[in-house]
Amino acid sequence: MDAEKIEQIRANFPAVLAKAYLNTGTNGPFPECGHKATLEYAQKQYESGRIGFESFTEMFREFTLATKAVATLLGCDSEEIVLTHNTTEGMNIALMGMDWSKGDEIITATTEHPGGLYPAYLLKQRYGVKIRQTSIGKPGVNPITELKRVLNSRTKAVVLSHVSWSSGMVLPIREIADLVHQTDALLICDAAQSCGMVPSNVYELGVDAYAISGQKWLCGPDGTGALFIRKNLIGSLAQTFVGYFGIKASDYSGNFVPNDGAKRYMAATLYPPSVKAWRVTLEWLEQEVGWDWIYKRIAELGQYCYEQISELPGVSMYTPKESMAGLVHFSFEQITAPDLSTKLAEKGIQVRPTPDPVLVRASTGFYNSVEDIDRLVKGIAEVIAETATAKA
C-alpha cells in the first residue's frame, strides 16, 4: 500500500523524478496542484487585470483561507497567525515588537540561522541588549542543561530553532518552553526546518512565537511563510511595520487602531497567486497525503539515510541519530563538503554543503524513495573513488 501511495505522490512532483531531490532543507519541490493554482491565478490577473471589487475580494479571500490552512497545521486559532514572506520576516516581527531596554538579555545559540541571529544582533546595536550565546543544537550538548546555565532574571527572550539547520538536531521544545516560562522570558522559535518535517502543534509545544517557511518542507512557492503569536501577547507586541492591512481605523491627527489579531503585523501585500498555491498545497498535504504519514515517512527515510551513509569508509556522522528527523549532516576525510556536493550535483544528486560547521547535508522528504538514498550512497562512493584516482 505504501509503495503505491509513494508512487502516486512522486507523480505530483516532476522535480523529484528528474533527480535525486535531497535538499528540501533549502527548497522543497513544487507539487502539481500548487503549480496549477499559480498559473490559473496569474493567468486570470493577466487577462482580466488586478483591479475592481471582484479582484480584491478574491485576494482577501485567499489570504483568509491560507491563514486558516496554516492555523489548522499549527493547531491554533486563525487570529494568532499572520502571513509573511518567509521565516526571517516572522522572526523580525516577533523580536522587534518586544519592548527592549539596555541590559535585557537574549539567549540564543551559535548553531542558529542568520534569520534568527541577525534580528537579535540588531537589537544589541540599537538598544544595548546583551546576547548570550550557547551551544544548544550541537551534538553531545544537552539543551536543557545548557539553557539552565545561562537563563536568569535578565533574560527577555530565548531564540532557538525547533530543528537545527546546522546539525539536524530536533530540540525538546516543550521542555525548553517550560523552563523559559519559569522566568518572564518569551520563547521565539525559528521553525523553518521543523514545520512540515515534525509535528508542530504550537499549543503542545508551548512556544510564544513560531516562524515558518512555506518553501521548504511545506512545498510552497518562494515568498510564503507565516508567524504564530500567542493570543495573549498580541496586544503587547508592538507593530514594527504598519500598512493598510495592519490598521482598523485612523484619523489625520496620527491616531490609529490596530487591526484585530495577528494580521495587524502584515504590512505588505503578498503575491496572491503564491498565497493561493501554498494554500492549495497545504490542503492537499493534509487531506490527500496526511500529516502523520508525512512525519513518519520523513523520520524513517532519515534513519535509513543515516545508517547507509554511516557505513561508508572515512565518514564522520554529525547529526545525532537519537534526536533527528529528516536532516542528515556528515563529512568525509577524503573530500571537502563543497566539492562533494558539487560532484554529486553533476551526477543528478542534490544535497548541499552547510557553512558552520562545514558539512554535507541531505534532506529526506516524504516524496523521496529508498532508491534516492541508495543513489546518494552510491554516488558518494563513486566520487570518493574518482577523487582517489585523480590524486594517485
Domain ranges of the chain: 2-29+290-391, 34-286
Q: Judge whether 2-29+290-391 and 34-286 match in fold.
A: no
Tens of each residue's pLDDT in the chain, 392 residues: 588 999 999 999 999 999 999 999 999 999 999 999 999 999 999 999 999 888 999 999 999 999 999 999 999 999 999 999 999 999 999 999 999 999 999 999 999 999 999 999 999 999 999 999 999 999 999 999 999 999 999 999 999 999 999 999 999 999 999 999 999 999 999 999 999 999 999 999 999 999 999 999 999 999 999 999 999 999 899 999 999 999 999 999 999 999 999 999 998 899 999 999 999 999 999 999 999 999 999 999 999 999 999 999 999 999 999 999 999 999 999 999 999 999 999 999 999 999 999 999 999 999 999 999 999 999 999 999 988 787 76
Q: Which grid coordinates belong to 355? A: 557553512
Q: Among the CATH numbers 3.55.50.30, 3.40.640.10, 3.40.50.1970, 3.40.50.300, which is that of 34-286? A: 3.40.640.10
Contacts 24+ apart (CB under 8 A), 331-334: 331/357, 331/358, 331/359, 331/360, 332/360, 332/380, 332/384, 334/384, 334/387, 334/388
Q: Are 364 and 345 in contact (CB under 8 A)?
A: no
Separation between Cα atoms, residue 78 and residue 68, nearest integer Å: 5
Separation between Cα atoms, residue 188 and residue 208, nearest integer Å: 6
pTM of the model: 0.96
C-beta atoms surrounding 351 within 10 Å:
25
Separation between Cα atoms, residue 352 and residue 342, nearest integer Å: 8
Q: Among the CATH numbers 3.40.190.80, 3.90.1150.10, 3.30.565.10, 3.40.1080.10, which is that of 2-29+290-391? A: 3.90.1150.10
